[in-house]
Chain A
Amino acid sequence: MNSFSVGDLAHTYTLQRRSAALKTQMSHLGNELSTGQISDKRAVFSANIDHIMDIEADLKALEGYKVAVTEATQFSQAIQIALERVDTSVGNLATTLFAMSPHATEPVMEQFSAEAEAELTTIVSALNTKLGGRFLFSGKATDRPALADVSNILDGLRDAVVGATTIEEISARANAWFNNTSGFTSAVYSGDISELSGFRLSKGEVVHVQTTANSQVFRDTIKHIAIAAISSDSALGLDINDQRTLVQDAGKRLFDSRTDLTALLGTIGSAQSRIDVVSTRNSNKESALMMTKAALLSADPFEAATKLEAVQFQLQSLYTVTAKMAEMSFLNYMR
């Protein structure tokens, strides 16, 4: 350290460095003020990188789950509507058939058969509902309709019971055909036997909203209606009493089916409420994460404005000092 002279360059060096530092600080603060986000994000990242990456990953996943939740909701609603149609049909038919007069004549029986066939058509079309390009009741084969034509069902049943003479035999053969995998399942059901996988709505949260047209409740329902539909077939050659018994029996059993259908509707309903719960939970989580992220990365405008004022003042003082020091040269005082 020289007590005799201080080099000129030393002054300018320090002043220049200081002014550069202050100007950088000012531009950062100006950025923060205008964008509302911290301009030196790297400093925040250094301290919180794991936390921030977690938040980002979770937010992205929640975006995906939002889509899944919407689709699950639509799917379950569509299934519910279809099931309600089936239920209504079954209910109407059950009432009609059960209330059949014990003295019904041949033409009346034929009319009942026709009605049964009509309701079966409604039910089959309900079970073949398509939503957004996929069939709802076909299990994993969402590109194929669940059930074949009504005529296929009735013809299949007719082939199965041909040659049967008594009602018991007809019932037994019908049961066999409907419950046999090579019967109804392969001839009529064109979907996949395995159900659609559950909907993944959140980490570890899977909601099953499924039932295929091949499940027991539908097979039984269709079986009863189909039997009623073919009961007045001339090929079967049943006498009028047998026909009446068959039809009334069908009606009675359809009431039982309705109980099963109601239970199924209940399952769908509870799945729907589960979806709602998960959806709400997901939105809350999303809001909380966004707030945490904002807290980490956003800049307080008041703080930024105050700092900016301070830095501005410092820079102005620096400029004044620089100018003054330039004046203080012996050269100016020599002559």
Chain B
Amino acid sequence: MTISSALNSAMSGLRAATRASELVSSNIANVMTPGYARRTLSLSSAVTGAASGVRIDGVQRHMDAQVVGDLRVASSEFSYRTNTSAFLSRLERLFGAADQPDSLSGRLAEFEKNLITASSRPDAPERLDILAMTARDLSVSINTVSDGIQASRIQAESSITQQVTRLNNALRGVQKLNISITATAAKQSPTAAFLDQRRALIDEINEIVPVRVVERDHGAVALFSTGGSILLDGRAANIGFEAKKTITAHMSLENGMLSGLTIDGFPAGASSGSGRMNGGRLGAEFEIRDTLAPSAQVQMDALARDLIERFESTDVDPTFVSGNPGLFTDSGSGFDPMAEVGLASRLALNPIVDPTKDGESWRLRDGLSANARGSTGDATLLNAWADALTTPRSQPSSSLGPSALSAAGVFASITSQVVSDRMREDQLLSFTSAQFHELTNLELSNGVDTDVELQNLMVIEQAYAANARVIEAVDQMFNTLLRI
């Protein structure tokens, strides 16, 4: 109505245009930032007296909470599967490719072949020496696989420590941001930057442990793990973990020798399977340490046990004395059914025939406990060793199935189990990966579109020019009045 109100309206228009251009420039600056929520200005017409001008309601962050939520679920699932499948791939590599001679089953085949050639010329000391070396190589390769499994557990342990540290830092960060957001909102200042930061931290937490975000008053959020633990509600929980420096096969979570997570000092229960902190990277590492690696170890121990027991019999070696070690030993001693855990790491060729331990390879021909060398052409014992490997025996370990297996059958059964596990995990990973990438794409398409921003900029430019023109016109009107 009045000229001054026209001026005010124009000024408000300029202000709005300036603010809008600020936002456009911020959007364009962040075009490459993943997870950035596109900002727009929300305007409404001002309601003051005779109604004129524009009012800036605030900055609107365009975030599709549905997509973000789904993406979080897919992201932690993806993180979980990536890690478990990496472990299984590593395990498969430990076993070696089936067509390579240095694979586990390749070494067994080499040992069996050398038994054949030694049986053909039992008088040749070089054949017996090679046979002893091949037997040693076999036991060493079994040790290597078993040691590799335990090394994976140690790696998982140190990774858990790292993840817990990250988690605690991120939770404290979110707690601080909650306070900042509440304070800033109370001052009526824009909170968009804080919200973006908090979202990035929550995404980081989500990768470690899948979280559910719950809105609280005044812009704060609470975080719960999908298993039901409270991670942050007003105050961030403190996640604790005690790492062990070395891990051996007999240490497990169940017998208390390995620790689980604690939340504010209270044990959080198992983290693998259906525990309260399951899923995500942390869940995967616990799964590896407490389920996947130990079950692989059990298989290897069953394999080592079968190998040792095949040769601990007077049917095979007439000089065998019960209680003494046979051809393969548990660190030099006979097999003790109470000490099956970790056997695969302790499996060793009997030092009495091991050339690297001043053993004598002629004992492979004449008997481990023989007092003196026997007839040089006698291949009976060598044939008996060979038969011991090919004779099917029923397995004491239930994980290898009910049927009787030869030594090669045991190796094949375990190797094929490992391969099929890895394959299944790969399939799950590829499904999860497809889902994750699909949702990431969806989420990214909600990001900044430079074309749209530039179009908006053109409109803003025009609006600014028009408002400035209005001010100019009002100024002229004032001047006209004053000249009266």
Contact = CB atoms under 8 A, between A and B. Distances in A.
Contact of B114 (A10, A64, A132, A143): A64
A45 B97 contact: yes
Contact of A9 (B32, B99, B390, B455): B32
B452 interface: yes
A67 B447 contact: no
B123 A143 contact: yes
Interface stretch (A102-110, A164-172, A192-200, A229-237): A192-200
A144 to B, nearest CB: 8
Interface string B364-378: 000000000001111
Interface stretch (A47-55, A214-222, A307-315): A47-55
A303 interface: no
Contact of B377 (A9, A61, A196, A329): A196
A281 to B, nearest CB: 16
Interface in B93-124: 97-99, 101, 105-106, 108-110, 112-117, 119-121, 123-124
A302 interface: no
Interface stretch (A22-30, A134-142, A176-184): A134-142
Contacts of B64: 2
B135 interface: no
Given A56-B106, A140-B378, A45 B98 contact: yes
B31 to A, nearest CB: 5
A140 B449 contact: no
A9 B37 CA distance: 12
A53 B98 contact: yes
Interface string A33-58: 00000000110011001101110110
Contacts of A297: 99
Given A142-B376, A197-B379, A71 B120 contact: yes
Nearest to B118: A64
Nearest to B373: A143
B116 A65 contact: yes
B41 interface: no
B119 A52 contact: no
For chain A, what secondary structure do more than half of its interface residues adopt (helix, strand, loop), or is it mixed? helix
Interface in B406-461: 408, 411-412, 415-416, 419-420, 422-423, 437, 440-442, 444-452, 454-455, 458
A285 interface: no
A159 interface: no
Nearest to B442: A1
Given A2-B445, A139-B377, A52 B99 contact: yes
B378 A53 contact: no
A274 interface: no
A221 B185 CA distance: 119
A22 to B, nearest CB: 15
B38 to A, nearest CB: 7
B380 interface: yes
A200 B445 contact: no
A6 interface: yes
Nearest to A47: B423
B376 A334 contact: no
B401 to A, nearest CB: 13
Interface residues of A, number: 54
Nearest to A59: B109
A10 B419 contact: no
Contacts of A46: 419-420, 422-423
A49 to B, nearest CB: 4
B120 A133 contact: no
Contact of A53 (B412, B437, B454): B412
Contacts of B446: 2, 7
Contacts of B454: 330-331, 334
B377 A138 contact: yes
A189 B392 CA distance: 41
A140 B450 contact: no
A194 to B, nearest CB: 8
Interface string A115-145: 0000000000000000011100011111100
Interface string A1-22: 1101111111001100100000
Contacts of A334: 454, 458
A277 to B, nearest CB: 18
Contacts of A239: none
Interface residues of B, number: 61
Given A8-B31, A50-B412, A57 B445 contact: no
Contacts of B190: none
Given A57-B112, A64-B114, A134-B123, A10 B423 contact: no
Contact of B109 (A61, A132, A192, A330): A61
Given A14-B441, A49-B419, A141 B447 contact: no
Contact of A49 (B117, B415, B452): B415
A7 B124 contact: no
Contacts of B112: 57, 60-61, 64
A5 B38 contact: yes
B447 A9 contact: yes
A142 B437 contact: no
A68 B109 contact: no
A63 interface: yes
B34 interface: yes
B319 interface: no
B375 A60 contact: no
Contacts of A42: 92, 97
Contact of B416 (A41, A49, A72, A143): A49
B197 interface: no
A130 to B, nearest CB: 11
A194 B380 CA distance: 11
B52 interface: no
A131 to B, nearest CB: 11
B333 interface: no
Given A53-B415, A197-B383, 16 more contacts: A2-B62, A5-B451, A6-B449, A13-B441, A53-B416, A57-B108, A60-B106, A61-B112, A67-B116, A71-B121, A139-B375, A140-B376, A140-B378, A196-B377, A197-B379, A200-B120
Interface of B: 31-32, 34, 38, 62, 64, 92, 97-99, 101, 105-106, 108-110, 112-117, 119-121, 123-124, 375-380, 383, 386, 390, 408, 411-412, 415-416, 419-420, 422-423, 437, 440-442, 444-452, 454-455, 458
Smallest CB-CB A-B distances: 6 pairs = A7-B447, A64-B116, A140-B375, A142-B377, A64-B113, A60-B109
30 contacts: A4-B452, A5-B38, A5-B449, A7-B449, A10-B441, A17-B437, A42-B97, A49-B416, A52-B98, A52-B99, A53-B408, A53-B415, A56-B98, A57-B109, A60-B109, A60-B110, A61-B109, A61-B112, A61-B113, A64-B112, A67-B117, A134-B377, A140-B375, A140-B376, A142-B123, A199-B120, A329-B450, A330-B454, A331-B450, A331-B451
Interface of A: 1-2, 4-10, 13-14, 17, 41-42, 45-46, 49-50, 52-54, 56-57, 60-61, 63-65, 67-68, 71-72, 132-134, 138-143, 192, 194, 196-197, 199-200, 203, 293, 297, 329-331, 334
